[in-house]
Amino acid sequence: MTQETEDDIQLNINTGGDNLFLETKERRGPIKGNRSQRIKARRTVNLKANRASEKKHLEHDHPAGSEQKTKVISQEVKFAEKQHYRHTHQTVGKTDIPPSTGFISSLFRNNPEIPKMDRIKVDTMMEEVFSAEFVQDLPLHPFMISSLTQQGFKQLTTVQMMAIPHLLLGKDALIKSQTGSGKTLAFSIPIVHRLQEITPHIKRTDGPLAVIIVPTRELALQSFETFQKLVKPFSWIVPGYLMGGEKRKAEKARIRKGINILVCTPGRLIDHIQHTNSLALDKVKYLVLDEADRLLDLGYEKDVSQIIAALHKPDPQEHHQTVLISATLTPGVERLAGMSLQNPERIYASPEENNRNKKDDFVTQDSAKSDFVIPVNLKQHFVITPCKLRLVTLLSFILGEKKSKKKPCKMVVFFSTQDSVQFHYKLLKFLSSTKNSNDKDDINVDDFSQLQIFQLHGQMDQKERTTEFQKFSKTRSGVLLCTDVASRGLDLPNVEWIVQYTTLGSTTDYIHRVGRTARVGSMGNALLFLMPSETGYIKVLNENKIRQKKSLINTIPYKTFLFSFLAFQSFVRAYSTYPSSLKSIFHVKNLHLGHLAKSFALRDAPSHMSGVQLKPSVKRKIHQDRPQAQSKKKRMQEMSEFSGGIVTSSMKRKGKKMKK
């Protein structure tokens, strides 16, 4: 990102008069009358010009039209040409341009205005990530403490400090805390500790004693890995996973051998409950519903209810401990809590929420609205891009981040569909594998080389998904393009930027997506792409206590933009100076000014290039940014591109004359 501002947004370069130029009468053109008459006249002119152009195309396609018809059309074409000539002549000013036969595409003429946005004052809710307590203060087995310390977990996060003591007592709990606050360890440490306490030691053949339900396959793998690390000092405890996409037969064999801590996705567990005889759930002591909000969003409510029913024991003495975890509380999560928890302890890591919700004890749609907690170290931005500039803006953002960072940078870009991910993946992969230039100063596809690109979406088979996920987790630098499969619960280390190329709309989704960065107290950034028609979404986020900064992504740096304006202007002038013998080939009338503008990274053709003055501030800026005037001697040395750099006596004489 090149710049950040609260007041301005500029994408590509808008050469509109409002930004750069002083208003002049000349600009208005010769159409006379009051304002409404002038507007009407202009509309008629445009309409006729467009009709004429369309008819001309028709005529081209159907040359067998009547003579009469051809005459009418040719008159209209002439009229359109005349108008176009007038327009071009006025706009390019001093350049003598004959009538154009071109048609100016609305793609380049129409740039939607960025509407003014109503912003609401936002008091964001804060949650301290780390508590003042340490792992060694917990009443855990010494081997577990030393294992945790060795893995780098010394200080407890707030949610761990609050939840672990309750869970060690065997109470049901509803745990809510911000994304990336260490909720997985908050429920897995007590489970492993209590399982290792059982004497005599539990055996594989005891089957599942703990069941962890997670919404996605990647999350199942991630939680399984966490348990694997935790049970290292207690080799007799066996964790395992069951998830969609894996071979059922192999899973059945693993179940038969024995799994004590079973991490699974709901659909696959239901499948095994119904079809695998060796799966006995009667000894289950712990049930965890992780990412409860996501389980519901993905439509697993029925599956989860079936699992709860399958685990239900009629004797209340035998009730297993149930823990429900979520980063957001919704009425749906409350419903699930009501269904599965008995006298739960409500553990909310944010003090403000702790006070409020403990009094209310039930989350309604309205109270859920204000429950969103954003990590303190997350910087949120949004950018408004006209639809046609979305791709170029995305690419220049990725490139800008890659170039501006000396250190490696990891980024996740969210798309709304699998097809979108695949298209952008193929495109970036192509750019990153293409090498065609040795010129270090050029901005070209070389800048994409060495950019590692990854993708993650539901159309990939499980093996590919796992490999890609693990590769991105381990890499130090790269861009992951994905759908929402990666939005919840995934712990992707050191991600610096989360880009939402399309938003899903719900604030919960927004929170989970941006929560893939700024984890456990680290720094992170999020960028939301919006089109001008979507700016109302900012207000929706503001109402949910989410505040972002407007951002500026220039597809080229600001300094270059001033030069691009001048370059456009002189290009048109130069183009009009071809000798008359070549005019049939090189003629200004053949230039599509809108397209030409794009080739200089301008949003529009600077339509008021002559006869107007640049605003003094812009003039000053251009002057400052131009290369410093060279000494005449040096200029003369460099005047000819064939110069050998030797100053001849004639040059010296010329220099002296010039001085005089």
Ligand X SMILES: Nc1ncnc2c1ncn2[C@@H]1O[C@H](COP(=O)(O)OP(=O)(O)OP(=O)(O)O)[C@@H](O)[C@H]1O
Residue 181 near ligand X by CB under 6 A: yes
CA trace torsion 505, 508, 511, 512 (10° rounding): -110
- Tell me whether residue 182 or residue 207 sits nearer to ligand X (CB atom): 182
- Tell me whether residue 76 or residue 127 sits nearer to ligand X (CB atom): 127
- Count residues binding ligand X (CB under 6 A): 18
Residue 182 near ligand X by CB under 6 A: yes
Sign of CA dihedral 22, 28, 32, 35: negative
Residue 176 near ligand X by CB under 6 A: no
- Tell me whether residue 185 or residue 255 sits nearer to ligand X (CB atom): 185
**Stretch binding ligand X (CB under 6 A), from 150-158, 237-245, 391-399, 479-487:** 150-158
CB of 489 to ligand X, least distance (A): 4
Residues in region 516-555 near ligand X by CB under 6 A: 519-520
Among 83, 88, 100, 157, interactor with ligand X by CB under 6 A: 157
CB of 491 to ligand X, least distance (A): 4
List Cβ neighbours of 276 (8 Å cut-off, separation of 6 or more).
251, 252, 255
**Stretch binding ligand X (CB under 6 A), from 59-67, 77-85, 153-161, 375-383:** 153-161
Residues in region 456-515 near ligand X by CB under 6 A: 489, 491, 515
649, with CB counted inside 10 A (0-12, 13-18, 19+), is exposed
Where are the alpha helices (H) located in 66-105, listed in sequence order?
67-92
**Stretch binding ligand X (CB under 6 A), from 174-182, 413-421, 471-479, 591-599:** 174-182
CB of 509 to ligand X, least distance (A): 13
Among 93, 180, 239, 400, interactor with ligand X by CB under 6 A: 180
CB of 480 to ligand X, least distance (A): 15
List Cβ neighbours of 569 (8 Å cut-off, separation of 6 or more).
606, 609
Distance in angstroms (rounded) separating the CA atoms of residues 633 and 350 = 70
- Tell me whether residue 151 or residue 610 sits nearer to ligand X (CB atom): 151
DSSP 452-469: -EEEE-TTS-HHHHHHHH
CB of 328 to ligand X, least distance (A): 9
Residue 185 near ligand X by CB under 6 A: yes
- Tell me whether residue 187 or residue 565 sits nearer to ligand X (CB atom): 187
CB of 326 to ligand X, least distance (A): 8
Give the residue from 633, 371, 319 showing the smallest Cα distance to 507: 371
Among 15, 53, 147, 184, interactor with ligand X by CB under 6 A: 184
**Stretch binding ligand X (CB under 6 A), from 26-34, 176-184, 273-281, 551-559:** 176-184
The CA-based angle 549-552-553, given to 5 degrees, is: 130
Strand partners, 294: none
Distance in angstroms (rounded) separating the CA atoms of residues 576 and 590 = 11
Position with the least CB separation from ligand X: 182
Tokens linked to 113: 């205005």
- Tell me whether residue 255 or residue 288 sits nearer to ligand X (CB atom): 288
Helix (H) / strand (E) containing 261: strand 261-264
- Tell me whether residue 160 or residue 393 sits nearer to ligand X (CB atom): 160
Residue 183 near ligand X by CB under 6 A: yes
- Tell me whether residue 515 or residue 524 sits nearer to ligand X (CB atom): 515
Residue 191 near ligand X by CB under 6 A: no
Among 52, 77, 97, 156, interactor with ligand X by CB under 6 A: 156
Buried b / exposed e across 59-72, counting CB within 10 Å, b at 16+? beeeeeeeeeeeee
**Stretch binding ligand X (CB under 6 A), from 2-10, 65-73, 183-191, 621-629:** 183-191
Give the residue from 339, 325, 322, 334 showing the smallest Cα distance to 361: 334
Report whether 550 contacts 385 (CB < 8 A): no
Residue 153 near ligand X by CB under 6 A: yes
Distance in angstroms (rounded) separating the CA atoms of residues 19 and 562 = 12
Look-up of token digits 């339900």: 213
Distance in angstroms (rounded) separating the CA atoms of residues 452 and 429 = 8
- Tell me whether residue 436 or residue 470 sits nearer to ligand X (CB atom): 470
CB of 333 to ligand X, least distance (A): 13
Residue 237 near ligand X by CB under 6 A: no
Helix (H) / strand (E) containing 309: helix 301-311
- Tell me whether residue 153 or residue 501 sits nearer to ligand X (CB atom): 153
- Tell me whether residue 219 or residue 556 sits nearer to ligand X (CB atom): 219
Q: What is the 3-state secondary structure (H, E, C) of 369-410?
A: HCCCECCCCEEEEEEECCHHHHHHHHHHHHHHHHHHCCCCCE
Beta-strand pair 321-326/261-264 = unpaired
Helix (H) / strand (E) containing 650: helix 649-659
Report whether 327 contacts 179 (CB < 8 A): yes
CA-only gyration radius of the chain, Å: 33
Residue 93 near ligand X by CB under 6 A: no
CB of 184 to ligand X, least distance (A): 3
**Stretch binding ligand X (CB under 6 A), from 156-164, 236-244, 454-462, 589-597:** 156-164
Residues in region 280-319 near ligand X by CB under 6 A: none
Count other Cβ atoms within 10 Å, centred on residue 340.
Answer: 22
CB of 603 to ligand X, least distance (A): 38
State residue 346 phi and psi, 5-degree precision. Answer: -95, 120
Among 327, 421, 486, 530, interactor with ligand X by CB under 6 A: 327
Binding site for ligand X (CB under 6 A): 153, 155-157, 160, 179-185, 327, 489, 491, 515, 519-520
